[in-house]
Every structure is written in structure tokens, then in C-alpha cells.
Structure 1
Amino acid sequence: MADHSSDAGDSSNDGDISSVMGFSGFGKKARTFDLEAMFEQTRRTAIERSQRALEERQKQEVEESSVSRPVSHTEKPSTSTSRKQEADSSSSSDSDSDVIGPPLPPQKEDDDDDDDFVGPPLPPGYKRSTADSDDDDDDDDEDDDNPVRKIPDTHEITLQHGTKTVSALALDPSGARLITGSYDYDVKFWDFAGMDGALHAFRSLQPCECHQIRSLQYSVTGDVILVVAGNSQAKVLDRDGFQVLECVKGDQYIVDMANTKGHTAMLNDGCWHPKIKEEFLTCSNDGTVRTWDLTSEKKHKSVFKPRSLQGKRVTPTCCTYSRDGKLIGAGCQDGTIQIWDRNLSVHTKFHCRQAHAPGSDTSCLAFSYDGVTLASRGGDDTLKTWDIRSFRKPLSVVSGLTSFFPMTDCCFSPDDKLLVTGTSVRKDEGNGKLLFFERQSLQKVYEIEVADTSVVRCLWHPKLNQIMVGTGNGLAKVYYDPVKSQRGAMLCVVKSKRKEKHAETLTQDYIITPHALPMFREARQRSTRKQLEKDRLDPLKSHKPEPPVSGPGRGGRVAAHGGTLSSFIVKNIALDKTDDSNPREAILRHAKEAAENPYWVAPAYKKTQPEPLFAEEEDEEEEVDKDQPEWKKRKI
């Protein structure tokens, strides 16, 4: 009884406190849930439902088998079976009442497949149609099987690099920056996130002075750029265009190119190692393919020397790494494709002697993403695919692909199902095209007419799913699809062009002196327009400049040309361009006039000496000789 009375007192005290403080429920314990018990009950309920669904399916199969037998019209279901069904229905209703959670919506027809379906419940009165789901699956499968639908070509933007051929393109791994190189020696940087609708490059430089840019590529990490130009020294720049490394030049008088520290002739191509961020590869007209290390700039890392069938030196025109970085491939001028193991530089691992026509420059080698297929773009207007495991014959060949440039390239699509390359055209003879081929059979499945000029470079970025194209008239085009692509060109298209801000110039320097005395403080300038109006009223600031002096000049100012004596002399005598071939005749042409009409010397001696008397030079010389000693006399 004491406990009950104390409880009653506590409850009354709680009620008084809650009424005073203005809230209810003071002193009640929070409701607790046993989560483990709830999970266990849910699991058991799910097991029971799956068992019940299995029993109903077995029962339906039995009924279908009984229906298939011939049944007499007088036959009726037994009462025991009906009772069993009623018992099952009652048990199912009881089990349903024990289910925790919101009830399932009623359905018109029960389907055995619905019990196995995992996902949100269907709305009431709707029956899941297997045909609809099958159609959706078929559409998805068609999209997956048809790689043409993944080509992003619904929209395009045009970047104006210059007027000459865009010979190099590169995107960093993240797809934020694009760099373009051209025959006009310029390398331009384009930042998609920082560009507006005007599509202007934020930086332009000439890293190799007066040498055409042959190849550009970002490293794996995207922090440095490899620049290969028409000289013999490749350069490495950072993201802002400042030089990090310049390869050393070799000694051109050494016969064995393996004994020189670097290339001695024009470079043709170069690329970064796909796994090692400090290593890159270059090939040159000196007949070597060299690997370099970013940390050591005094010498190359290793040398590969392609050779012909007779063992003579062959010029490599393009080079590349395999996707895993273990193989190094080079296309040569004699039409061969030679592949070495990266760690063994003496003998080739794979060698195809007649890959392309001899004497044609193989412009590009590209490995597929799975590393099995090699694509080669030849100077003989062909595109071929090769299986590295059997390198004697090409898998497929496409001919008639015109190429006028030694850097016309090809690339694989991100899903590895398509192969892309460009074609060249002469001026006013059609449009350059970007062609898409199926990888296995090299059947043309799609094409894009780019412009009325050649398509030189093409690049399909896997992260952005956008295609970059370099053309022969100085344009770089970017193709994208707002649905299938992301970032990249879509960032700068939505931005409007910035308005040019005209800087307002002040008429005089404004000096701010916050701690000066009030008598020395200058009035604060409210606006430039008012200050200009005040200066216009000031006679000193708005004084008209003095006109040029006409006449002899005054106040130290020089007059017009020819006004002073010196300028007159310069104008009439020093600048006299009369050319007399004989200077003696030019002097004596006035002698006759001076003798007939004397003006300067003769009138002064007219009274005292009307007839001039001149001394005889010979007599004077003889007298001088007589007075002089023997050793001073003139010898005649």
C-alpha cells in the first residue's frame, strides 16, 4: 500500500509540474524497440511466405495435370479438397494478419511470378506484363549492341586556332583542358570551365620557335605536356606552358646512333608511357626510337633501331606504347610495323614486313583498350587492323581513305567497338569526313562531314564521351551530345559572352591622404565626368596647344622646314641630288660667265690693278731651290 501511495503521489507531482511548465508527458519513459527481434520476426515471415508460394505453385501444377486428363461431367470436387482450400485460405489470412508493415495493394489476378518479384508493389488493379518488360529489355539490349547510337554528334562547337593546319590535339585525363598545335608554330590552351561563349584560348605560345608542331600529349597524371616539333629536341611543359625539360641533342657526326645522347634529326612523333608518369617515347628521322626519363635530361634511357630486311637503317614515322606499357611499336617508311619488348631493345618481338606500301609514311599506330588489336593508318590510303598474337596478316583492311598529312591518325571508341579516322580532300573538291568503322569487320557504319577541308586529327575522350577533330584550315571542332556526354564543351556553351569593360581614365593622379590636415586634403572625386567638366573650365588644363612656328622661329622653337639658315642649307645644298659625272666641268661651267661679267673679285682691283699680274710658278720654285741646301732640294 505504501508503494501504491508513493506512486500516486509521484504521478500527482508530475501532473502539477507539467501543468506549471506548460507541457505534458513529463516523466514518461521513451518507447523502446527491440530491433533484433523485429528483424528476426520479419525474416521468419518472409520464409513462411516463400514456403506458402512454393506450395501453391506445386498445387497449381497438380491441378493443371489433372485438368489435362479427360474428366466426366458428373465428377465433382470432393469435400475434403474444398475443406483443405478453406483451411489454407484461413491460415493464409491469419498469417497475413501477423505481417508487420503496410498491407499489399489488392490485385486483379494473382500471378505466381509476382511472388518471386523483388521490388516495389504494383498499384491496385495492375497486372505485371511480361511482354512490356521484355520489350524494355530488348530496347536496352539493342542500345548496347548498336555502338552507333553512342556516337555523340548532335551538337558541335568550333574553336578557331588559326589559319594553318591543326596538326596536334591533346586532352588532359580529366577532360578539363584542351591544347592544340599547328603548322603556324603556336600551341594554344583552351579551358572548358573558364571559357565563355566567345570560345577564346586563354594562352598561346611558341615552345619550339619556328618549328611546326608534330605531336602533343598530356602525361598520365595530366601535370606535364610532351611537345614534339620539327626540330630534334622534344620539350616537356607544365600545365601553364612553362618549360620543365628539353631533351639533349645528339652528335650528328657519330655513325652509330646508339652512342649519341639524343636525336640528331627532325622528330616525327612522341607519346607518354601509360603507366609510368616520368617516361616518354620519341622517334626521329635519324632512324631511332628513344625512351626518355623526366628526371634525367642529359641522356636518353634506351634506344631502339628499326632495320629493313637487308639490315639497313629505316626511318620511323610514328611510335606508340601498348596499353599495358610493355610493348613499343613503330611504323616505318618502308611500310613495316616493328614492335619491341620495352626491356629488350635489340631484336623485335613482332615484325610485319609488308604491312603497308613501301615508301609510304605510316601516320598512326593505335592499340585497342583490351590490348589485343592494333590499328594502323598508312600513307597508302588504307586502314588496317592486326591481331598481335598472329601478326602476319591483317584482320581487316579498308582502302580509299585519302591522306595528305604525315600525322593523320585513328583511334578506338571508349567501348572498343568502333574505329575512327579522318579523310583528306583537296581544295574545293568536297568535304573532309570523320568515318566510323566496326572494329571486327571494318565496315563503315557512320560518317560525319566535318568541313570543306581535310580532317587531320581525331580524339575520342573516354571520360567526357566527346570527339575532338583538327582540320586543315586551322579549326578544332568538338562534337558532343547533351544526353550522352558530360562536362567538357557543355560547360562553356551555356555561358554568355562577357561584355568588354572600357576603363575610365582619370585626367590626373588622385593621391589619397587620409591623415592630412583639412586644409591640405583634396576634395574627393565623385565621378570622372564631373572632373572632366571642371578641367574643361580650367584655362590652364584646357589650354589649346600652340600651332607650329611659321617663319624664322622664336622662343627657341624651330620653324618650319627651310625657315632657318641651317635648314635652308640642308634643303638646297646638302640634299641637292643633281649628279654631275665630271666634277671639274661642274666647277668650270661658270668660268666663262665670271670672266665676262666679273662681280666678286675683279671690281675691287679695277682701279689699282686693271690688268691682273700673276707670278710665274717655275721661277719661284727655282729660287726656292737655290736658297735651300743640297739635301733639301727637290729631286726631279
Structure 2
Amino acid sequence: MDPKKVDEDDTSGSGDIGSVMGFSGFGKKARTFDFNAIFEQTRRTAIERSQRALEERQKEMEEEGESSRSVKPSGHSQRVKSAAASSSSSDSGSDSDSELIGPPVPSQGADQDDDDDELVGPPLPPGYTGNTADSDDDDDEGDAQDDDDDNPVKKIPDSHEITLQHGTKTVSALGLDPSGARLVTGGYDYDVRFWDFAGMDQALQAFRTLQPCECHQIKSLQYSVTGDVILVVSGNSQAKVLDRDGFNVMECIKGDQYIVDMANTKGHTAMLNSGCWHPKIKEEFMTCSNDGTVRTWDVNSEKKHKSVFKPRSSQGKKVTPTCCTYSRDGKLIAAGCQDGTIQIWDRNLSVHTKFHCRQAHTPGSDTSCLAFSYDGTTLASRGGDDTLKMWDIRNFRKPVNVATGLVNYFSMTDCCFSPDDKLLVTGTSVKRDEGNGKLVFFDRVSFQKVYEIEVTNASAVRCLWHPKLNQIMVGTGNGLAKVYYDPVKSHRGAKLCVVKSKHKEKQAETLTQDYIITPHALPMFREARQRSTRKQLEKDRLDPKKSHKPEPPVSGPGRGGRVAAHGGTLSSFIVKNIALDKTDDSNPREAILRHAKEASENPYWVAPAYKQTQPEPVFAEESDEDEEAEKEPEWKKRKI
């Protein structure tokens, strides 16, 4: 064979392989592709196919029209022609219409709203004119829905409610984890209760109760931003951090109360008032106390605080902060003080305040809550002077809006913004038997009272509007924690537990006896094997011996070791029959000799036994000397 011919065959084969694989040869530069040209060719092919399919469909429709003379020609063919014309115009149009791959949109979609994306597909049957009434109804529904979206009151979830019984005293703290799965409540009764919405049934029972701070009222409870730990602020000077199951994670150190400068102590030296977590840093939290300081802490270092902020009055004197909070971005720290001021610091600059309002509320009143809006530009303050004020951070000299007449008897009455940032919510206080506590809703722009909910016949202390659940939690002055929700607008939370029926407690079945297997027993002694436990229980229930039928009450004196109804116990039987016996046994000799005559005349017990062997009794006879001796006076008798 000619070697040149072999080489030519090899080279031709390699060339064929190279053309198939997309490269000219091994070890050489790879072939480059023009992707734009490929995409353009694909687009043209798709348009040609769709146009061809449209023409075929048009021919079929024309043939049907010719065969059925009874049916009048409708506007369908015109719509098809217009669709074909639109497709041809799209072919000659600009490159911006390159997304129109596939069958073109029928022309009847132009008669309806542009939002009806469902109308993409094959054209409607001939003679279809469309239902204008349905479209009008859809427009009305859309307008009504737009009105609901514009009205924030329609979004308040208050159509349904559940009541969680925390105790009998004021619920002074509420906390929900970020996911909304668990609720924690604390009160004046020192208890902290854990509620799991997914695990509860209609009985609405807490799955854990504890007293983390012994005999101190719970002031504040809050889950961290990750939801794995809980900050507990109570009436003592040391805040605690618990995990989700209530076990202790960290306890703040107590400061030295004999040091004058509070910046030199490692912790608080007086009762705490409030506390909260940092919204961005999961290890950092803040507390404020009656020692006149606001301190930030780190969970990992419990021996000392991170930084100290000291509120000061206009004269430079120490002021007690009653509430504190972080801004939404965590860069600002705000504190409401007893002298009526609101002081805001930069988190990294603890000496001088960044914003300061001297006369925010009445001096001497406890500002109970500060809350930042979700956009971070507005601050709401709930004062002890029965007011609710809204402030703009950018102009902090005077409030933007003020609402008065909101009675406040508690130092922890809340205010909060709705999840859409359009409403502001707070609770009102009442004295006992003098009305109902209410949740009051204010429009953020106009600050008009747009809605209110009567909670119960006690004060509404704590309120919490969870953004994910869209449910409102309220802590009241009579030991209740109420959850308001809407089946349509709310998600999970209380909706999970109200659909679960109560678990029936299984009674301890003590009727059945243990089944003993005796494989080698004789047939007459062998027990039949149990096939159904329920049937065996029913049989045993009918058997008075196996079911231990209770004995009827004893009537009369009693028998068989059982006493009558008047003596339920042995002691009562003794009191009834022996201790209250009317016979007088104070002289035992007389009591015995009382039966002597009957015993001598009718001997029954002792005398017949000794009748044969008993000797005759011989008694000494009395002499005259003995009689004279008895007659002698006492002083003449000889002493023996």
C-alpha cells in the first residue's frame, strides 16, 4: 500500500473530525464563534416558524368558514389578519422586539387591560365579543382593593383574638423572637413564661415557667436579633441573659456602690429600669438604671461593661434614665429621663449628646417608652404626663405632633409603629373598675386617632406589633397577654394553635392484668391470647372483681373492720363511741363492785373454774381489844 495515500487518508480523517468538533487540529488555536449571529439566526427561524403556523391556522379557519355558511363571518379573521400584520411589522421593526419569540399576542388583548398577561395564547373562538360586565366588576374590585391599600386602618389585624393567662398580676414585659415562633411574658409576680405557638393547642398553656431573678419584678424582656438568647431586665441591679429554653447564659456584674463616679464602676449599682438588644450586633445589649447611667454590655464579657453614657440635667447634675433604645441602624442611643428630657448619643461618642431636648415631657414624670420608626427618621415618646409625642431627628427642638389625654400609670407603657410605618400604637391605663384599657391607633401623618381597641377591664401596659406575623400582642394589668390577629392578613403565630384541639389526658388503665404466657400449660389452664385490648377492657369493666367495684357505704354500727358513715376514720369512731361515753368511770372500785352482786348470784366466768379446788375462805374474828383500840383518840395511838 502506498504510504502517501495512507497519510492523505489520515489527514482527511483528522480534517473531518476537526470540522465536526469545531477546531482545525490538535494543538492549534480553537475556533471562535459569533454568538450574536447565532442568536439572530435562531430568532429569525422562530419568527418564520410562528408565521408559518399562523398562516396554516388562518387557512384552516377560512376553510371552516367556507364550509359552514350558516355562521356569519366574525371579527376573528380580522383579528388574525391584524395579528399577522403586527407580526410582519414586528419583523420589519427594530431589534427591541426580539423578545417576541413564539405565536403573537391576539388582538383582543388590546381591548382589555394591559395588565392581563393571561391572554397570551391562541386566539379566542369566532363570534366572541367579551363580557364587559365582568371587566367592570374587575375594575370595581381593583378600585376597592386600592382603597384598602390606601387606608391603613383596614390593615389592623383585630378580627380575632386569643387570651394567654400569665397570672393574676400585671404583665410588665413582652418579647417575641424574630421569627414569631415563641412568645415570652414577664410580670409583677416575678414569673417568666414561655409560649410556643407551634406547640400549643387550644388549652393555651405555657410550656415553661421560671423565676430568673427570684423576688424581683420583671421590667423588660427581649429576644436578640438572632432569636437565640433573651435579655431579662428586672428590679435588681444585674441584668441576665437566658437562652431559648430559659437556662442562664450570662449575668451582669454588680458595681461598687461606694464609688462616686459611676464611670469607674464595672456595673450598675441601683435598680434597673429598661434594656434592649443592639439591632445589628447580636452580642451587644444596653441597660439603664437608677444610678444615673446607661451602659452597653457584651455577652461574652460579663466582668465589665463596654461603655457608659451619663445623662445630665441643664445644671450638670445626675439624672435617672427611665427608658432607653437603639436607633434602627444601631448608630444612635436614646434615653428618656425623669426630668422630662430626651437625650441621644452617638454610640461611639459617650461624652456629649448628639441630640438633646430639654422639655420633651413634664419634669418629674417617667418617660415610659421611646421607639424609632422603621425608616429611622422619626422618634415616638410615651410620657408619664399622659401624652404621646412624635419627633423628627433632623429637627429635634420641638415635637412634630402631640396627642394628649392618654392616661399612663405604669413606667413601662409601650408605644410602637405599625409594620408599614403608617400608624402609631400605644396603650392607656385605667383604675380598677373604672373602665377598660384601650389600644389607641394614631395616623403618623395627621396624628389623628383613627382606631381603638378595648382590651379588657384593666390597663393596657405592653403592646407589640410583630412585622412578620402581623399580629398585635398586648400585656394587661390583670395578668393577661392578648394576641390580636386576622385569619387573612396575619401569618402563623396564633393561627397555629387555635386550630389544634385539646389533647385528652389518657386515663391510667389499671383494670387489665398482665398477660402471662405459659406455652406448656395444659389446655384447661391455658389462657386465651388477647387479640383486642379494648374488648378485654370492656369485659374487665363488667367484672366486679377485676374492676374493683367500690363497696357500698356501711349503715349501722359497722362490720368487717369498717366503720359507719359517722366515723370515717378510726379516731372519729373512738370519739363517737368511747370518748363521748356518758358512763362515769372516775371511781374504778365502784365500777367493778357494781357487778359484784350479779357475779356472786350468777357466776359465769371465774367462779365455776375454781369451784372444785377453791378452799373455803377463813377470816379472822374481831376482838374487843381491837374495838377499844379503834375508839382511842388519835394522840394516844402508838406510832408504828
**Which TM-score band (shorter chain)?**
0.5 to 0.7
Question: 2:114 & 2:440 partners in 1: Cα distance?
Answer: 50
Indicate which of 267, 273, 278 corresponds to 2:283.
278
Indicate which of 148, 151, 160 corresponds to 1:146.
151
Question: 2:82 & 2:459 partners in 1: Cα distance?
Answer: 77
How do 1:227-626 and structure 2 match up within 5 A? 227-505=232-510, 536=545, 547=561
Q: Which residue matches 1:164?
A: 169
Indicate which of 118, 123, 129 corresponds to 1:125.
129
Structure 1 residue 472 displacement after superposition? 0.9
Cα deviations by residue, 1:37-83 (Å, 9 ceiling, x for unpaired): 664344579999xxxxxxxxxxxxxxxxxxxxxxxxxxxxxxxxxxx
Question: 2:321 & 2:261 partners in 1: Cα distance?
Answer: 16
Q: Which residue matches 2:44?
A: 40
Question: 2:110 & 2:315 partners in 1: Cα distance?
Answer: 81
Q: State TM-score, norm by structure 2.
A: 0.67
Change (3 A) 1:37 1:209: same
Question: 2:329 & 2:202 partners in 1: Cα distance?
Answer: 39
Change (3 A) 1:517 1:104: same
Counterpart AA for 2:213: C
Given that residues 407 and 430 in structure 2 are in contact (C-alpha distance below 8 angstroms), is that contact kept between their aligned partners in structure 1?
A: yes
Q: Which residue matches 1:59?
A: none
Change (3 A) 1:110 1:337: closer
The SS at the match of 1:194 is: coil
Structure 1 residue 241 displacement after superposition? 1.0
Given that residues 343 and 357 in structure 2 are in contact (C-alpha distance below 8 angstroms), is that contact kept between their aligned partners in structure 1?
A: yes
The SS at the match of 1:383 is: strand
Change (3 A) 1:363 1:533: same
Structure 1 residue 397 displacement after superposition? 0.4
Given that residues 106 and 125 in structure 1 are in contact (C-alpha distance below 8 angstroms), is that contact kept between their aligned partners in structure 2?
A: no
Change (3 A) 1:47 1:103: closer
Given that residues 541 and 547 in structure 2 are in contact (C-alpha distance below 8 angstroms), is that contact kept between their aligned partners in structure 1?
A: no
Change (3 A) 1:531 1:459: same
Question: 1:538 & 1:358 partners in 2: Cα distance?
Answer: 74
Q: Which residue matches 1:21?
A: none
Given that residues 150 and 484 in structure 1 are in contact (C-alpha distance below 8 angstroms), is that contact kept between their aligned partners in structure 2?
A: yes
Given that residues 548 and 560 in structure 1 are in contact (C-alpha distance below 8 angstroms), is that contact kept between their aligned partners in structure 2?
A: no
Structure 1 residue 215 displacement after superposition? 0.6
Given that residues 47 and 102 in structure 2 are in contact (C-alpha distance below 8 angstroms), is that contact kept between their aligned partners in structure 1?
A: no
Question: 2:376 & 2:50 partners in 1: Cα distance?
Answer: 48
The SS at the match of 1:262 is: coil
Q: Which residue matches 2:66?
A: none
Change (3 A) 1:89 1:234: closer
Q: State TM-score, norm by structure 1.
A: 0.67
Given that residues 189 and 217 in structure 2 are in contact (C-alpha distance below 8 angstroms), is that contact kept between their aligned partners in structure 1?
A: yes
Structure 1 residue 191 displacement after superposition? 0.9
Given that residues 51 and 87 in structure 2 are in contact (C-alpha distance below 8 angstroms), is that contact kept between their aligned partners in structure 1?
A: no
Counterpart AA for 2:339: D
Cα deviations by residue, 1:211-258 (Å, 9 ceiling, x for unpaired): 111111001111111111111111111111111111111121222111
Change (3 A) 1:505 1:386: same
Structure 1 residue 95 displacement after superposition? 5.3
Given that residues 367 and 381 in structure 2 are in contact (C-alpha distance below 8 angstroms), is that contact kept between their aligned partners in structure 1?
A: yes
Counterpart AA for 2:130: Y
CA RMSD of aligned residues (A): 4.4
The SS at the match of 1:492 is: helix
Cα deviations by residue, 1:148-205 (Å, 9 ceiling, x for unpaired): 1111111111111111111111111001111111111111111111111111111111
The SS at the match of 2:119 is: coil
Structure 1 residue 139 displacement after superposition? 3.7
The SS at the match of 1:484 is: coil
The SS at the match of 2:146 is: helix
Q: Which residue matches 1:60?
A: none
The answer as to 2:192 corresponding to 1:187 is: yes
Structure 1 residue 428 displacement after superposition? 2.1
Counterpart AA for 1:317: T
Structure 1 residue 92 displacement after superposition? 3.7
Change (3 A) 1:43 1:410: farther
Question: 1:208 & 1:234 partners in 2: Cα distance?
Answer: 9
Structure 1 residue 300 displacement after superposition? 1.3
Counterpart AA for 1:120: L
Structure 1 residue 517 displacement after superposition? 8.7
Sequence identity (%) = 72
Structure 1 residue 505 displacement after superposition? 3.4
Structure 1 residue 259 displacement after superposition? 1.6
Change (3 A) 1:213 1:538: closer
Stretch deviating more after TM superposition (138-147 or 172-181)? 138-147
Counterpart AA for 2:318: R
Given that residues 511 and 547 in structure 2 are in contact (C-alpha distance below 8 angstroms), is that contact kept between their aligned partners in structure 1?
A: no
Question: 2:547 & 2:462 partners in 1: Cα distance?
Answer: 64
Unaligned runs of 5+ in 2: 1-37, 53-77, 92-99, 552-557, 564-572, 578-585, 587-628
Structure 1 residue 500 displacement after superposition? 2.0
The SS at the match of 1:204 is: strand
The SS at the match of 2:364 is: coil
The SS at the match of 2:153 is: helix
